[in-house]
A and B are shown apart, each in its own frame.
Chain A
Amino acid sequence: MKDIVIIGGGPSGMAAAVRLAEKGYDVAIIERKEELGGILDQCIHDGFGTKIFGVALSGPEFAGEFIEQVQKLGIDVYLKTYVKSVEASGKVKEIITVSPDGVEIIKTKSIVYAIGCRERHQFEIKIGGTRPAGVYTAGMVQRLVNLYGILPGKNVVIVGGGDVGMIVARHLYLEGVDSILVVFPEEFFAGLPRNVQQCILDFGIPYRPRTVVKEIVGKDRVEGVILVQVDEKWNPISGTEEFYPCDAVILSVGLVPYTKKLTDIGAEIDPRTKGPIVNEFFETTVRGVFAAGNLVQIFDYVDDAVESAYLAAEGVEKYLRGEERLERPIFINPGENVRTLTPHRVEWKDERPITAFMRPAIEGKAWIIVRNERGEILEKSFRRYVRPSTLERIEISRDILENAEEVFIDVRGL
Chain B
Amino acid sequence: MGLKFKIEKVLKKFPYNISFEIRDNIVFLYGEVESYQDWVEIGLAVGKIKGVEGVVNKIKWKGYPEEKIRKREERRRKLYEENKDKIIGEYDVVIIGGGVIGTIIARELSKYKLKIALLEKGSDVSLGASKANNGMIHPGVAPPKNTLKRKLNVKGNAMYDRLCEELGVRFKRVGSLWLITPRTLQKYRKYLPGPLYKFVSAYVFPYIVKLKGIRNGVKGIKVIRGKKIFEYEPKATRDAWAALYVPSTGILDPYELVVALAENAQANGVEIHLNTEVVGFIKKEDKVKGVVTTKGTFLTRYVVNAAGVYADEIAELAGAREYTIHPRKGVILLFDKALKDWVRHCVTELRFPAPKHSKGGGINPSIHGNILWGPTAVEIPDKDDTSVHREEIYEVLERYKNILPEFPTNKLIRYFAGVRAPTFTEAFIIRPAKWVRNFLHVAGIQSPGLASAPAIAEYAIEQLKKMGLKLEPNPNFNPRREPIPTINEMSLEELNAKIKEDPRWGNIICPCEMVSEMEIVEAIKRGAKTLDAIKRRTRAGMGTCQGSYCTLKIAEILSRELGVPLSEIVKENNGKLFDGTVRGEKL
Binding site for B on A (CB under 8 A): 32, 80, 82, 84, 96, 98-103, 118-119, 121-124, 126-134, 136-137, 139-140, 143-145, 148-154, 175-176, 214-215, 219-221, 247-248, 258, 260, 263
Contact = CB atoms under 8 A, between A and B. Distances in A.
B370 to A, nearest CB: 13
A123 B415 contact: yes
B511 interface: yes
Contacts of A258: 545
A136 B548 contact: yes
Contact of A119 (B389, B545, B585, B587): B545
Interface stretch (B103-111, B197-205, B497-505): B497-505
A143 B414 CA distance: 23
Contacts of B503: 100-101
A118 B549 contact: yes
Contacts of A132: 571, 575
Given A128-B389, A133-B571, A137-B548, A176 B579 contact: no
Given A98-B508, A151-B580, A219 B338 contact: no
A151 B388 contact: no
B107 to A, nearest CB: 28
Given A128-B393, A130-B387, A143 B579 contact: no
Q: Considering the complex of A and B, which 3 residue pairs feature the smallest CB-CB distances, nearest first?
A: A220-B575, A100-B503, A133-B571
Contacts of B549: 118, 140
A398 to B, nearest CB: 37
A220 B573 contact: yes
B580 A118 contact: no
A35 B545 CA distance: 22
Contacts of A260: 338, 512, 544
Nearest to A247: B579
Nearest to B392: A128
Given A32-B508, A123-B412, A151-B580, 11 more contacts: A98-B499, A127-B390, A128-B393, A133-B572, A140-B552, A150-B582, A175-B583, A214-B390, A219-B575, A220-B575, A248-B579
Contacts of A149: 581-582, 585, 587
Contacts of B389: 128-129, 215
B445 to A, nearest CB: 23
Nearest to A147: B552
16 contacts: A98-B487, A101-B499, A101-B506, A103-B495, A118-B545, A123-B415, A128-B390, A131-B386, A133-B571, A134-B575, A143-B552, A150-B587, A152-B578, A176-B582, A176-B583, A221-B571
A188 B195 CA distance: 60
Given A133-B577, A154-B579, A220-B572, A99 B506 contact: yes
B570 interface: yes
Nearest to A144: B552
Nearest to A248: B579
A260 B545 CA distance: 11
B8 interface: no
A126 B492 contact: no
Contacts of B506: 80, 98-103
Contacts of A131: 386, 416
B413 interface: yes
Nearest to B499: A102
Most B Cβ at <10 Å: residue of A101, A152, A219 = A219
A84 B579 contact: no
Contacts of B475: none
Interface of B: 338, 384, 386-390, 392-393, 412-416, 487, 492, 495-496, 499-500, 503-504, 506-508, 511-512, 514, 531, 544-549, 551-552, 556, 566-567, 570-585, 587
A221 B544 contact: no
B496 A102 contact: yes
A219 B492 CA distance: 42
Given A82-B511, A100-B499, A118-B548, A130 B386 contact: yes
Given A96-B492, A260-B544, A152 B579 contact: yes
A152 B492 CA distance: 39
A273 B531 CA distance: 33
> Binding site of B, secondary structure by majority: helix, strand, loop or mixed?
mixed
B387 to A, nearest CB: 5
B548 A121 contact: yes
Nearest to A98: B506
Given A140-B552, A220-B572, A128 B545 contact: no
B560 to A, nearest CB: 13
A263 B340 CA distance: 14
A82 B514 contact: yes
Contacts of B573: 219-220
A219 B412 CA distance: 23
Nearest to B337: A260
A103 B492 contact: yes
A102 B500 contact: yes
A150 B559 CA distance: 13
B507 A80 contact: yes
B544 A118 contact: yes
Nearest to A260: B544
A263 B495 CA distance: 24
A151 B389 CA distance: 28
A81 B390 CA distance: 39
A346 to B, nearest CB: 30
Contacts of B566: 148, 150
B491 to A, nearest CB: 10
Contacts of A145: 582
B548 A139 contact: yes
A309 to B, nearest CB: 21
Contacts of A176: 580, 582-584
Nearest to B545: A118
Contacts of B571: 132-133, 220-221
Contacts of A153: 578-579
A149 B574 CA distance: 22
B71 to A, nearest CB: 15
Nearest to B390: A128
A58 B585 CA distance: 23
Contacts of B392: 128
A374 to B, nearest CB: 34
A85 B392 CA distance: 38
Contacts of B577: 133-134
A336 B40 CA distance: 56
Contacts of B514: 82, 84, 98
A124 B503 CA distance: 35
A219 B574 CA distance: 9
A263 B338 contact: yes
Nearest to B584: A176
B129 to A, nearest CB: 16
Contacts of A119: 545, 548
Given A118-B545, A123-B412, A140 B579 contact: no
Nearest to A139: B548
Contacts of B548: 118-119, 121, 136-137, 139-140
Contacts of B545: 118-119, 121, 258
Given A32-B508, A144-B578, A150-B580, A123 B546 contact: yes
Contacts of B551: 136, 140
A258 B546 CA distance: 13
Contacts of B580: 150-151, 154, 176
A148 B556 CA distance: 10
Contacts of B416: 131
Given A123-B413, A126-B393, A149-B587, A98 B495 contact: yes
B501 to A, nearest CB: 11
Most A Cβ at <10 Å: residue of B496, B575, B587 = B575
B40 to A, nearest CB: 23
Contacts of B492: 96, 103
A151 B546 contact: no
A150 to B, nearest CB: 5
A121 B575 contact: no
A311 B6 CA distance: 83
A292 B579 CA distance: 37
